[in-house]
Structure 1
Amino acid sequence: MPLERSVPLSVLDLASVVEGGTPAESFRRTMEMAQLAERLGYNRYWLAEHHNMSGIASSATSVVIGYVAGGTKRIRVGSGGIMLPNHAPLVIAEQFGTLESMYPGRIDLGLGRAPGSDQTTARALRRDLSMQGQEFPELLTELWAFFHPPADQYRPVRATPGEGLNVPIWLLGSSGFSAKLAGELGLPFSFASHFAPEYLMQAIHLYRSSFRPSEALSQPYVMVGVNIIAADTDEEAKRLATSQQLQFLSLIRGTPGKLKPPVDNMDQLWQPHEREALLSKFNFGAIGGKAAVEARMNEILKDTMADELIVTSQIYDHKARLRSFEIIAEAGNLQSTV
């Protein structure tokens, strides 16, 4: 069944490091994936900030964004997201001002308020552990001011490059805090439903009901994160999906590591309560062939009325991952630029 309502599709890439692989290999795969996404007609390509995780190579997020933007021509490239409390707002304004100057009209700045790490790592990042995200609005205001200083007011510290540049700011969230703030500020909002689906509908309602028009947006704009693993058959997709299930299982057990190859039978590896917890995370997503993916995407768009979907697929085999995004593009009615 073709999509009843076509929306832009985007990619969220964690620059996964597979078992037996290296970050250098991950970056090469990321570039190939981004170039394919551009040819297939995906709208944007986002990378996420995580620290102290051997299976994720995108810790220096702005650096990887520059690498991807430099290897592509049209697709928007950005952060999904930068964890703002880990950084001085001036530094982020300068970094993304630099990226926007190099790749004008193609850079997105998605912001989150979590540390993207554990407490020990947050301490190593010099983050004040007494703060629990409540300082985020103040940091966001400071960052915004570096991009948009008052014309009639002297400012002793200025972001160069950065000041006066139009870098779209998105708020990212997995709860209601950022949803409400994004609505009140009139900013686009992206919800992390790929790992927190249970709060999705509540957060979308809160965002839309809180929305106030702004310079950035005249009406709400919602993008939702979706786990989609596609293959030429349902059976193949289900097997490929076990790599991502193994990754979630390692997180639940407190033993995060590199992305593992798929297995034939997860029932031999997880306990019943772990299975229940894991499968609940995949309720908001799709695993299967093109027909199954189309049907599930239609359901998601009907339920959420999302303006855009951003897809993440943790697939061990690189060629299978590329094929997955080709199938998703077909299911999403994307127009190839090849």
Structure 2
Amino acid sequence: MEQFYLLLEKFKKGQASAPDIALLETLMQQGADEPLKAAMLAAYQRSILEKEQVLPAEKTTALLDRLHAAIAADAAVHSRKRSLRALLLPLSAAAAVLVLLGVVYLKYRADRSKPAAITVASRHISNNGGGVKTLALADGSVIQLAPNSTLAWKDSAVLRRLTLQGKAEFIVQADPKKPFTVETAGVTVTALGTIFTVSTQTVNKVAVKLSEGKVQIHTAHQQEDVYLSPGEEYAINTITRTFDIKRAGSPKVPVNKAPEANNVVLSFNNEPLDQALHTLGAHFKTKVCFQQEDVSALYFTGKVLKRDSLQSILAAICAMNQLELRATADSIIISK
């Protein structure tokens, strides 16, 4: 029995060798019933493999002190000739408690060490009143939600993506790293630091009016995205998918009317993005830097007009492809 105590002390201090573990197994086979023996052996082996105590040192010491005291009292009352099995049964029961507490402690510690899950809160706001409702987003953007309109979005550290039913004006806080996107009736409007209005209040029609800045409009049925300049209004029929663009106070411009030839300076049709960036950099005499792997398998279709700036074009391209844009004194850097 003294040998068992010595081995148990070694185990408690993390000093038990492989032969010590084997001997403990032998003693357990002699004196414990199968379930307790298996539990103790599993605890020993796990402690050796993971090189850690089942319980913290102070808890292990306290429990073992109580265990030793109980066994000593039991031995004083009963005959010293008592069988090894009879002595080991209370010891095995107490050891099983150690194993159980150890498992609970390890699970608690493992749960504490896991990173907290990142939750994305969903927001849903309706305006059922008679006046415009003003909403302020966490990023500083402001939304004027018209009556009988509904807006839904999810708070995210990466994207600003909203879904609209009805009409709203968006005053967007510029952030190239977080594109601001409004989706409605199959039309996607992406903005970078701008003021624009989106409306679905007319049946089978989506209208986008740009007051300031620049927006990109994308639909699944268009081969090319549309870019609006301040004062322009885009309207699309959601049934026929035909659309037109007009300036405030001027007649509509048919979509099939191409820009004047002397107004288009560059045109891209499904061009690999790396080549398009090189072409844009050369045209605007500005160095555009990027890593090839960041733009591989990406393509660009669109026209560059005389009034367009390199910064606005690249900002729109980055918004479409989830890329980041950073301007330096003599170059523009694009990255993921």
TM-score, normalization by structure 2 = 0.25
Q: Which has the higher strand share?
A: 2
**TM-score, normalization: structure 1?**
0.24
Name whichever structure is richer in helix by fraction: 1
Larger Rg: 2
